[in-house]
Amino acid sequence: MRSRNGECSQELQRAAALFNPQLVQILQQLNSEIGSNVFIGANTRQMNNDFISNPGAFGFVTSKVACCGQGPYNGLGLCTTASNLCPDRDVYAFWDPFHPSERANSFIVQQIMSGNTEYMYPMNLSTVLAIDAANN
């Protein structure tokens, strides 16, 4: 919404960058108090940044233009009947100015389920489920 060239707003990106390190600290503290890795966190911001910085690596043609929206880069408003709509939503990293596309969300879910610590802290969901199954 604040972009003149399809890039993310630096001000908003700086604000978002403060969240995950603080989340990791809170998770460390909670897990330490409980004595077990009960709580996990997903760094979806980093996942989105990967789509943005290298959309082709994920099979997207662009991360600068949303599939559905209005204004420059389809970056204004939500998807409505008045919106521009892309011909193939599977090649767009973002559905609208705010949300990843369905295909991008499937990559995010894959990382939550089996991703490494770049995206998941302290472990992914599959590991938590395996530990839980082994303990029951």
pLDDT digits (tens, 9 = 90+) for 30-89: 999 999 888 999 999 899 889 999 999 999 999 999 999 999 899 888 899 999 999 999
Residue 95's pLDDT band, with cuts at 50, 70 and 90, is: very high
Residues 6+ apart with CB under 8 A from 27: 39, 40, 41, 121, 122
Residue 2, pLDDT above cutoff 70: no
Distance CA 121, CA 41 (A): 5
Distance CA 73, CA 90 (A): 17
Closest CA to 71 of 61, 82, 60: 82
Amino acid (one-letter) located at 116: N
User: Could you report the per-residue pLDDT of 5-38, keeping only the tens digit for each?
Assistant: 767 778 878 888 888 889 999 999 999 999 988 8
Distance CA 36, CA 68 (A): 43
Mean pLDDT for 108-115 is 96
Residues pairing with 62 in the sheet: 92
Residue 128's pLDDT band, with cuts at 50, 70 and 90, is: very high
pLDDT at position 76, please? 87
Q: Left, alpha or beta for 34 (phi > 0: left; psi -120 to 50: alpha)?
A: alpha
Distance CA 39, CA 30 (A): 7
pLDDT at position 114, please? 97
pLDDT at position 3, please? 62
Amino acid (one-letter) located at 17: A
Distance CA 6, CA 4 (A): 6
